[in-house]
């Protein structure tokens, strides 16, 4: 799994190299990640709404229909946005305030994406299995999110 992550992250960074649009970077990452791992059921980004910086709005994703907006502090994504910390949740049904966009999701990892030190988005990956995400998923996705917006100039 670690090798697959290394390969797909390399591929993502090669595809987005020189691309100023953050949206294009998010879309390419969501596509390639969801293709690389069978247990990725929903893969995408919630971006900080430029008109309301206390709310996330859905961005590029692969999967079933996602909720459109998530206030900071709500659910797994809102908790990650507020705390600026990765949330790795083995059973989302036990997470207080979890937002069920699709009842088939059972575990989830959410990683903050910073740009010039400010929160730009969160990467959200959901799985239909319980406890799908381990420390390898976390370490590799955190690395991707650290570098994904390097060189991005616009949202």
The contact set with ligand SME (CB under 6 A) reads: 42, 66-67, 70, 75-78, 98-99, 101, 105, 108, 124, 126
Chain residue whose CB lies nearest ligand SME: 75
Nearer to ligand SME, 124 or 137 (CB): 124
Residue 109 C-beta: closest distance to ligand SME, Å: 11
Cβ neighbours around 117 below 10 Å, total: 5
Of the candidates 2, 30, 55, the one whose C-alpha atom is nearest the C-alpha of residue 126 is 30
Nearer to ligand SME, 5 or 42 (CB): 42
Nearer to ligand SME, 59 or 149 (CB): 59
3-class secondary-structure state, position 27:
helix
CA distance 54 to 97: 17
């Amino acid at each position: 799994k670690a090798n697959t992550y290394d390969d797909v992250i390399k591929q993502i960074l090669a595809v987005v190299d020189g691309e100023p649009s953050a949206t294009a970077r998010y879309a390419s990452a969501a596509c390639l990640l969801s293709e690389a791992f069978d247990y990725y059921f929903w893969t995408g980004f919630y971006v900080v709404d430029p008109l309301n910086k206390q709310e996330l709005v859905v961005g590029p994703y692969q999967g079933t229909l996602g909720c459109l907006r998530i206030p900071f502090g709500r659910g797994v994504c809102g908790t990650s946005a507020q705390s600026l910390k990765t949330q790795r949740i083995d059973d989302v049904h036990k997470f207080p305030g979890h937002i069920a966009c699709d009842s088939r999701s059972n575990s989830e990892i959410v990683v903050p994406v910073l740009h010039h030190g400010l929160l730009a988005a969160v990467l959200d990956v959901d799985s239909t299995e319980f406890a799908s995400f381990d420390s390898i998923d976390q370490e590799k996705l955190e690395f991707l999110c650290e570098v994904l917006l390097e060189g991005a100039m616009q949202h």
